[in-house]
């Protein structure tokens, strides 16, 4: 589960909450599009579940993200594996439904992810454990494992900045990068998601040197 979610973040620049809020209805493998329209967050520790699905961070965050060839293969293989586990576990496979949560005026404000065997309103969450268990974006231990095993300090959210920096260095317009990331302002992308490296700073000076030769 984590590896596939990790690669999805790597190749799309999606926010952590957006990645773990994905259902298979959001992932259009035929047209290779991921529809980003919600995020997941924790609110309580009730036995029925503490994870909620709500709207994205901003209106501009609702977007469609292209699935590249590498991610397409990863998602296809993962979906097949998940279906295999679903058959193996049978009735023991965890199933979930979405409970509507409305405010005092009756307006729908969010959905609560609740474990339930009912087929009514059942939702197929993309990233779950082997037995179907959904743990929201509770992934703190995995970056620690990466740090311990590979010596790399990396938060899941850092993948977003890495995505932005690498595609900018490849020549992509920052306006397009900002749109993919779901930012309403280019300045947000520039100020918080683009980082300089020793190599890029070196190229600045080398570029000047070439210009005055």
DSSP string, 85-139: HHHHHGGGS--EEEEEEE-TT--EEEEEEEE----TTEE-BSS--TT----TT--
Q: What is the mean pLDDT of residues 63-76?
A: 93
The reply to whether the predicted model has a pTM over 0.85 is no
Q: Which two tokens stand for residue 155?
A: 């938060």
- pLDDT above 70 for 153: no
pLDDT of residue 196: 62
Q: For 89-142, how does the pLDDT look when each residue is reduced to its tens digit (9 = 90+)?
A: 999 999 999 988 999 999 988 999 998 877 777 899 999 999 999 988 666 555
**With pLDDT > 70 as the criterion, what percentage of the chain qualifies?**
74
Q: Which residues pair with 66 in a beta bridge?
A: 33
- pLDDT above 60 for 175: yes
**In 10 A of CB 19, how many CB atoms?**
26
- pLDDT above 70 for 59: no
Pairing of strands 39-42, 96-102: unpaired
Distance CA 135, CA 20 (A): 9
CA distances from 131 to 54, 179, 181 (A): 25, 36, 32
Q: What is the mean pLDDT of residues 16-43?
A: 93
Q: Which of 75-89, 146-160, 171-185 has the lowest mean pLDDT?
A: 146-160
Element (H, E) at 51: strand 51-54
> What is the residue-averaged pLDDT of the chain?
82
């Amino acid at each position: 589960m984590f590896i596939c979610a990790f690669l999805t973040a790597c190749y799309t620049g999606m926010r952590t909450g957006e990645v773990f809020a994905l259902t298979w209805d959001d992932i259009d493998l035929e047209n290779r599009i991921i529809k980003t329209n919600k995020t997941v967050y924790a609110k309580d520790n009730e036995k029925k579940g503490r994870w909620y699905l709500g709207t994205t961070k901003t209106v501009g965050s609702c977007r469609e993200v292209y699935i590249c060839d590498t991610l397409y293969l990863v998602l296809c293989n993962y979906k097949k594996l998940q279906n295999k586990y679903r058959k193996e576990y049978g009735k023991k496979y965890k199933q979930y439904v979405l409970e509507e949560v409305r405010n005092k005026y009756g307006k729908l404000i969010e959905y609560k992810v609740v474990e339930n065997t009912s087929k009514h309103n059942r939702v197929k969450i993309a990233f779950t454990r082997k037995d179907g268990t959904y743990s929201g974006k509770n992934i703190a231990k995995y970056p620690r494992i990466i740090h311990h095993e590979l010596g790399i300090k990396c938060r899941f959210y850092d993948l977003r900045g890495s995505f932005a920096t690498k595609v900018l260095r490849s020549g992509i317009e920052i306006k397009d990068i900002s749109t993919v990331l779901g930012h309403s302002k280019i300045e947000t992308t520039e100020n918080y998601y683009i980082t300089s490296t020793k190599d890029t700073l070196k190229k600045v000076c080398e570029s000047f040197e070439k210009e005055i030769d």
